[in-house]
Chain A
Amino acid sequence: MRVYLNGEAREFSSPVTLAQLITELDLPPARIAVELNREVVRRNDWDATELRDDDRIEIVHFVGGGRS
């Protein structure tokens, strides 16, 4: 299975959920937000969301910035 994570292709040999992906990436769950194929996935749904081939995942956090 190949998914696109923040624009980069990633291969997985076995099924993986969003929650597992975030744990594997060692990201702080309370400080990030996740979009799957352009729709926000609520934190409570990460566990139940299994990734599928060709999924587009965006994981964002916050950075210093005033504007553009």
Chain B
Amino acid sequence: MKKQSFETVVADHGPTVLRVCLAVLGPGEADDAWSETFLSAMKAYPDLPADANVEAWLVTIAHRKAVDVTRAAARRAIPVDEVPEACAAPGADARDLDLVEAMSKLPAKQKQAVAYHYLASLPYADVAAILGGTTDAARRASADGIAALRRSYPGITEPGTTASGITGEQR
């Protein structure tokens, strides 16, 4: 099996990894985390087995970078009253902005579980491997996160039946 050029890796996975960084870190730190992720990945790329799941590998690196960035930010620790400004795509409507803001307010574990499972399409077993803990815990964190996000939609005030808890992959 042939290994693709790293340019192809960036083209294929760059947008998803950026979404993950935005979801987990917010706009202030996402660019730095993305850049450090791909630079680290490029260094290690020749040693990656040709049949490896490249996206899972990238998300694992992005997770470690995000943890580093968050720790560094905590050390700098300037308490602020507001959560960082929500960053949404240009042309995003009010509902998108609400959704992104709701995402930024989730507990870290839920935010990560939602990002890795729903934005990066990793099975819960892979999400659990990245986060530590069991596959069930990863599934629960993701379901709780989605339920909280659902409440940010206009007209929906209750968590309801959270169908998301059972629609996710059961792997």
A and B found bound together = no
